[in-house]
Amino acid sequence: MKMIMSIIDDMDTFSLLDALSERGFQATKLASSGGFLRRGNTTLLIGVEDDKKEEVLGIIERICMPRKQFVPMSPVMSIEDNVNPVDVMVQMGGATTFVMDVVENYKL
């Protein structure tokens, strides 16, 4: 058995959980934060039989594809300046994924 631990963008969480559940995979969602940016992200724990590992990695790769997206950001100015937010291109998505061997698994 393998434990797949995948750190993903919050925005991809529900699409990925839906896609995993449709294929019969179980997952646990943890609210996490990146140590560098200190922004919220999501960590999913997915326990699977060895022969299902590739299928799960494929689903993660399909749903959490890295992509560029425009996000509106307000320039740092005083409120009297009345400046409209500008769209800034940022990198979204992607999945940092670790696969670990599970020695034993119990549901007690």
Cα–Cα distance measured from residue 62 to residue 46, given in angstroms and rounded to the nearest whole number: 16
Among 61, 80, 79, smallest CA distance to 15 is for 61
Cα–Cα distance measured from residue 71 to residue 73, given in angstroms and rounded to the nearest whole number: 6
User: What is the DSSP code (8-state) at residue 84?
Assistant: P
Residue number, nearest CB to ligand 2BA: 34
Q: How far is the CB of 49 from ligand 2BA (least distance, A)?
A: 25
* Residue 7 makes contact with ligand 2BA by CB under 6 A: yes
Closest to ligand 2BA by CB, 39 vs 107, is 39
**Interface pick for ligand 2BA out of 22, 24, 36, 72 (rule CB under 6 A):** 36
Q: From residue 38 to residue 57, what is the string marking binding to ligand 2BA with x (rule CB under 6 A)?
A: -x-x----------------
**Interface pick for ligand 2BA out of 22, 24, 35, 101 (rule CB under 6 A):** 35
* Residue 37 makes contact with ligand 2BA by CB under 6 A: yes
Give the SS3 label for residue 91: strand
* Residues at the contact surface with ligand 2BA, assessed by CB under 6 A: 7, 34-37, 39, 41, 94, 96
